[in-house]
Amino acid sequence: MIDFEIAKAWHKIVALHIAFVIEGIEKSSLDPRIVCDDVVCNLGKWIFGSGARYARMPEYADLVEAHIRFHYAASALLEEHATGNAESRSSSLRAASDAVLASIDALAASTIAVPESGKPGTATQTKDAGDQPAWTESMRTGMQLIDEQHEELLNWIGKLNDAPAAEITSQFFVDLISAVKRLETLHFETEEIFMQRAGLPVDQMLEHVQAHKMLLNQLVQVELDAGNGICKTAAEAQRAIKNAVLSHIAKYDMPLDVHVAARR
């Protein structure tokens, strides 16, 4: 259900932008008249775009309403922030944001699981014996949203090994790589917001952003290899991707909390 995870990630990034503006961490301004429009954000576009295939479900209507309420609450908060009085509405915005996430989860739970394309015949395959769960509690950075995204991203990377003998040219693997790339892109956007919040030195931030580009390039290369008919197994590709992400988390992400803590 990658669509729903992406939808939640989009919403969390918007909510993060608004919170940082209210807290004075981000100096950019947000026009309340634009924020009030629930169809201009990525989640709104998804709801009335590809997400509209769920329109007959009551949970879909609940999501539409919750999302509208969030944008109205955010707009009102930004208007009050401009007058120097935003604290009174902060709790209502958090509640509205939580309601959107709960609505997405409810819609996801109500959908019927559809067999993944390109995966027939792989259900009985055994995962690579050397592949262990990637996420552990020791990886926590202390930044809740970053930690949630790390866990979700590593879970999806783990799915690349659901059919370890499959070639990277299989539709099953190609679809999963595309999903992982989308999650990585959203995660990197979130991290870069946190780095700005932390006031990370410019040279360190540039190095971190460059590392993000290298990780994305690795996924692009796997897609290119698949397109060129290069025969690698899913297990080989998954292991390389997972190890690169784990190394990145240890080297670049976990030390971020020191900088963020200094701004709390």
pLDDT value for 69:
93
Sorted by where each begins, the domain ranges of the chain are 2-110, 137-263
Q: What is the pLDDT of residue 59?
A: 94
The pLDDT tens digits for 17-62 are 888 787 776 666 788 889 999 998 989 999 999 899 999 999 999 9
For residue 250, what are its two tokens?
């240890």
Q: What are the residue ranges of helices labelled H in the chain? A: 2-22, 32-35, 42-47, 58-82, 87-110, 144-159, 171-198, 202-227, 234-248, 256-263
Whether CATH 1.20.120.30 fits 2-110: yes
pLDDT at residue 28, rounded to an integer: 64
* Surface-to-core class of residue 146, CB atoms within 10 Å of its CB (0-12 exposed, 13-18 middle, 19+ buried): buried
To which residue do tokens 């679809």 refer? 175
Measure the CA–CA gap between 110 and 123, rounded to whole angstroms: 23
Residue type, 29: S
| Nearest one of 246, 214, 233 to 133, comparing CA atoms | 246
Residue 177 to residue 162: CA distance in whole angstroms: 13
Give this prediction's pTM: 0.65
Per-residue pLDDT of the chain (264 residues; tens, 9 = 90+): 568 888 888 898 888 888 878 777 666 678 888 999 999 898 999 999 989 999 999 999 999 999 999 999 999 888 888 777 655 556 788 899 999 999 999 999 998 643 444 443 443 345 554 455 567 888 888 788 888 888 888 888 888 888 778 788 887 788 888 888 888 888 898 888 888 877 888 899 999 999 999 999 988 888 888 777 776 788 888 888 888 999 999 888 888 776 655 555
Quick one: pLDDT at residue 25? 65
Predicted pLDDT of residue 194: 82
State the pLDDT at residue 137.
Answer: 82
Q: How far apart are the C-alpha atoms of 262 and 25, rounded to whole Å? A: 13
Place of tokens 């995962």: 127
Q: Six-digit token pair at 256?
A: 């971020």
Query: What is the pLDDT, as a whole number, of residue 114?
Result: 39
Which fold is adopted by the domain 137-263?
A: Four Helix Bundle (Hemerythrin (Met), subunit A) (1.20.120)
- Are 2-110 and 137-263 in the same CATH fold? yes
In angstroms, the first-to-last Cα distance of the chain is 35
Given this model, what pLDDT does residue 60 score?
93
Which tokens go with 233?
């197994």
CA distance 106 to 71: 20
DSSP 92-103: HHHHHHHHHHHH
Neighbour-count burial for 2-35, b at 16+ CB within 10 Å, e otherwise = bbbbbbbbbbbbbbbbbbbbbeebbeeebebeeb
